[in-house]
């Protein structure tokens, strides 16, 4: 399902404020052993792939993941210092001016429920909004749409429906 986030002016200013408050501070997360990373440097793609699989995504070719990340405008991942493995991840692609789409928002199931997903999304949204990008969309499983609503996302705003191209296999005669 496509959930398209139209960020209100109030929310935009809250995200753009240099003193904006996150639901959990960087310091609080660091004191618990979680480190934010904003580049692919040090990101083990096999470990990231394991997180994808753990949340129900299909296993992906690591070379294709690398290529996708090289074409990503903004990304954020959380490393757990005790294991030096990624435990949360999100990325965005777009035109760099008006539009962005958020992809691959994942939190390792062992670390869900402690605020990492929200922390990653808050920081990724702040990064996009500070660049002036305010038309932000994301793809989400219907079962987790409620997670994104408090962040300002709405499903099908103003009746807008997302569409995706689907190549159907032809029946053999």
Q: Using CA atoms, how far apart are residues 83 and 20, in angstroms rounded to an integer? A: 30
Q: Looking up tokens 């210092």, which residue turns up?
A: 81
Q: Which of 22, 80, 148, 165 is catalytic?
A: 148
One DSSP character per residue, 57-87 reads PPP--HHHHHHHHHT-SEEEEEEETTTTEEE
Residue 148 annotated to the active site:
yes
Catalytic residues: 148
């Amino acid at each position: 399902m496509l959930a398209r986030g139209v960020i209100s002016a109030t929310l935009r200013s809250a995200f753009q404020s240099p003193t904006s408050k996150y639901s959990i501070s960087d310091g609080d997360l660091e004191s618990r052993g979680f480190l934010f990373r904003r580049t692919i440097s040090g990101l083990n793609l096999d470990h990231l792939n394991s997180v994808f699989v753990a949340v129900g995504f299909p296993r992906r070719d690591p070379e294709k993941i690398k290529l996708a990340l090289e074409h990503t405008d903004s990304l954020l991942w959380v490393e757990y210092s005790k294991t030096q493995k990624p435990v949360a991840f999100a990325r965005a692609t777009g035109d760099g001016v008006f539009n962005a789409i958020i992809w691959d928002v994942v939190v390792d199931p062992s670390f869900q429920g402690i605020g990492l997903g929200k922390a990653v999304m808050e920081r990724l949204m702040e990064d996009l909004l500070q660049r002036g990008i305010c038309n932000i969309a994301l793809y989400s499983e219907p079962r987790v749409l409620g997670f994104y609503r408090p962040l300002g996302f709405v499903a099908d705003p103003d009746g807008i429906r997302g569409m995706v191209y689907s190549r159907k296999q032809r029946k053999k005669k």
